[in-house]
Amino acid sequence: MREKIHPKYYQTKVTCACGNTFTAGSTKKEMSLDICSACHPFFTGKQKIIDTAGRVEKFRRKYGIKDKTAEAIKKT
């Protein structure tokens, strides 16, 4: 490795807007994020599907997939 051309590498403290903190390697000493794996809908399972022009419904009808939330609403 050549000297004086590479940036310094730090153990960085990463802070998310939700309050989650963890360490990672980076060239910055501290980082702040808007979203992390602790609050991202994909990882938490609280994902909402935005239906554009009935595409989701068409897909579900095509492959015979039943909507769990619609069944739960009908039962109440």
- Residues 25, 44, 39, CA angle at the centre, nearest 5°? 50
Containing structural domain, residue 62: 10-75
- Number of folded domains that form the chain: 1
Q: Which residue has the higher pLDDT, 63 or 12?
A: 12
Task: Decide if 70 is inside a domain.
Answer: yes
**Mean pLDDT calculated for residue range 21-25:** 93
What is the rounded average pLDDT of the residues 6-35? Answer: 91
In a domain, residue 14? The reply is yes
Instruction: Check whether 74 has a pLDDT greater than 80.
Output: no
In a domain, 5, yes or no: no
Residue 10 to residues 3, 7, 19, 31, 32: CA-CA distances in angstroms?
A: 17, 10, 21, 11, 15
Q: Give me the sheet containing 10-16, strands edge to edge.
A: 21-26, 10-16, 30-33
CATH number of the domain at 66, please. 4.10.80.400
Q: Answer whether residue 4 is part of any domain.
A: no
For the segment 35-68, what is each residue's pLDDT rounded down to a tens digit?
887 887 776 777 666 656 677 778 888 888 776 6
3-state helix, strand, coil in the chain (%, to 5): 30, 20, 50
- Asked if 58 contacts 42 with a C-beta cutoff of 8 angstroms, the reply is no
